[in-house]
Amino acid sequence: MKKYIINGGNSLYGEVDIESSKNGLLPILAGTILTEEQCVIHKLPDFLDIKNMINILKHTGMKCTYYGDTIIIDGANANTSELGIELSSPLRSSIYALGAFLGRFKKAKICYPGGCDIGLRPIDLHLRGLKDLGVKIIEQHGNIYCDGSNMKGGKVFLDFPSVGATVNIMLAGVLTEGTTTIYNCAKEPEIVDLQKFLNAMGAKIRGAGSSTISIKGVNKLHKVEWTPIGDRIVAGTYMIACAMCGGKVVLKNAIYEHNQYLINLLMRAGCNVVVKNSNIIVECTKRTKSIQKIETMPYPAFPTDLQPQLMALECISSGNSIIVENLYETRFKHVPELLKMGANIIVKNQTAFISGVDKLYGAEVKASDLRAGAGLILAGLCAKGYTTVNSVEHILRGYENIDKKLQALNADIKLIDE
Ligand code: UD1
């Protein structure tokens, strides 16, 4: 049983290197299934979701060799398009194997994906989009059987700009004859990076970053060498940590534009954020002001994956604020834990009403999911006394050495393995 023990109250000073984007790298790793040639990927972060995705590649018959934080993936011998429950359930992104298998093998059999328990998280948009490309799909006893032998480019209209559905249709469309157009697609930076990665392998995709993506099918993808973008959610987490604890933190390998919405909020709250020599520098010298009302929405608006961390900040800011969670039905599980620490929050349906308190107090709390866990670490960093964060396996799925990186910033946090 691993837990974080945090002795709160230290200001944060120093530099932190932001790891590669988890949500950017997971579709890219799935994308390596599409070629028989070698893919070299640098700056591979050391956390569980990435290891689980690499296990899916190995299961597919791909040879994966590590050289430090570089991995060479060789797909010459990939030989299966089937994925069982044991490899599907540890992570949401196992669903990307569906698009990649269909792209390469024109067939797939997979199970429903797992991931954070934050709401219903259906995959109807993925499946409907694939049907629009001519894939025949049968869902039976938790398995999804797909026959893509008659796949052709087509028009896909997404009811909602789903990140996952956009990725899956891109992966399925790249090696499919004709042109596939995705309307109302996701505009997240991770989608733009996926387009760049696939185009570097010889794909013909344009439009990523806008609401329409167009994919002209090609016969073959070739080898590639790639370094993924920095993780904007991790960067945002460290920025909020600095706002809560006070101090001055320099973020390396973070991209200002990807966090612009959050940065504007932090400046309104009283922090100073500047870019110097391509680093983001956050400085906070006084108690932050509440930011009134914020709603989670698809990019470029405020990301749901920073909602728990922002809520932790609002708990200790002066004034009242309202947070509306529009993406996930049950993404307020950190609220009862924050209440144990002395926060003042009332939740009605998808809306949280927060009155800032002068101080949070250390308590024993539980991480219900990845980002909720990050929010609780931040609360612990600025609380008076000791906080124990339990169930940290969720946090380890998506933050690389967060304890060590925070220690280097002067925080008093330890990872205990009992
Ligand atoms: C991705 C991110 C996740 C982030 C989310 C929203 C990865 C690995 N995960 O998840 O961290 O929280 O984007 O920014 O990149 N929906 C449907 N039907 C579908 C698909 C989605 O109704 O077929 C709904 C979902 O329930 C949710 C919304 O659409 O309410 C957004 O989901 P989506 O953008 O697909 O998120 P994920 O790709 O699962």
The protein residue whose alpha carbon is closest to atom 21 in ligand 1 is 162
270 within 8 A of 201, measured Cβ to Cβ: no
Domains and CATH numbers, the chain: 2-18+230-417 (3.65.10.10), 22-226 (3.65.10.10)
CB 69 within 8 A of CB 99: no
pLDDT digits (tens, 9 = 90+) for 230-249: 999 999 999 999 999 999 99
Residue 418: is its pLDDT beyond 90? Answer: no
Q: Ligand 1, residues 95, 124, 137, 162: which to mutate, most atoms within 8 A of Cβ?
A: 162
Pairing status of strand 179-183 against strand 155-157: parallel
Based on its alpha-carbon atoms, the radius of gyration of the chain, rounded to whole angstroms, reads 21
Q: Is the pLDDT of residue 115 over 90?
A: no
Residue 122's pLDDT is 87
Ligand 1 lined by 400 (C-beta under 6 Å): no
The response to whether residue 163 sits with its C-beta less than 6 Å from ligand 1 reads yes
pLDDT digits (tens, 9 = 90+) for 191-214: 999 999 999 999 999 999 999 999
Q: Are 84 and 113 in contact (CB under 8 A)?
A: no
**Tokens representing residue 29 in the block:** 């790793």
User: Which two structure tokens, joined as six digits, stand for 149?
Assistant: 């032998």
Residue 119: band (very low, low, confident or very high) from pLDDT cuts 50, 70, 90: confident
| pLDDT per residue as tens digits for the range 23-76 | 999 999 999 999 999 999 999 998 889 999 999 999 999 999 999 999 999 999
Contact between residue 109 and residue 83 where contact means Cβ atoms under 8 Å apart: yes
Confidence (pLDDT) at 330: 87
Q: Where are the beta strands (DSSP E) in 141-241?
A: 143-147, 155-157, 179-183, 204-206, 212-216, 224-226
Strand (E) or helix (H) holding 273: strand 272-276
Cα–Cα dist 204/51, whole Å: 29
Q: Which pair of structure tokens corresponds to residue 65?
A: 């060799």
- pLDDT tens digits, one per residue of 293-342: 999 999 999 999 999 999 999 999 999 999 999 999 889 999 999 999 99
In this predicted structure, the answer to whether residue 127 has a pLDDT above a threshold of 90 is: yes
Q: How far is the CA of 163 from the centre of ligand 1 (A)?
A: 6
Ligand 1 atom closest to the CA of 188, numbered from 1? 14
Alpha carbon of 16 to those of 47, 192, 280, 300, 309: distances in Å?
Answer: 17, 25, 10, 24, 18
Q: How confident is the model at residue 141 (pLDDT cuts 50, 70, 90)?
A: confident
Q: Calculate mean pLDDT across residues 367-386.
A: 97
Q: Which residues are known catalytic residues?
A: 116
DSSP H helical segments within 17-162, as ranges? 22-31, 48-59, 85-88, 96-105, 124-132
CA–CA separation, 233 vs 231, rounded Å? 6
Q: What are phi and psi of 202, to 5 degrees?
A: 110, 5
Confidence tier at 390 by pLDDT (50, 70, 90):
very high
Residue-wise pLDDT for 249-288, tens only, equals 999 999 999 999 999 999 999 999 999 988 999 999 999 9
pTM greater than 0.95? yes
Atom of ligand 1 nearest to the CA of 305: 12
CA distance linking residue 102 with residue 301, whole number of Å? 32
Our answer on whether the CB atom of 49 is closer than 6 Å to any ligand 1 atom is no
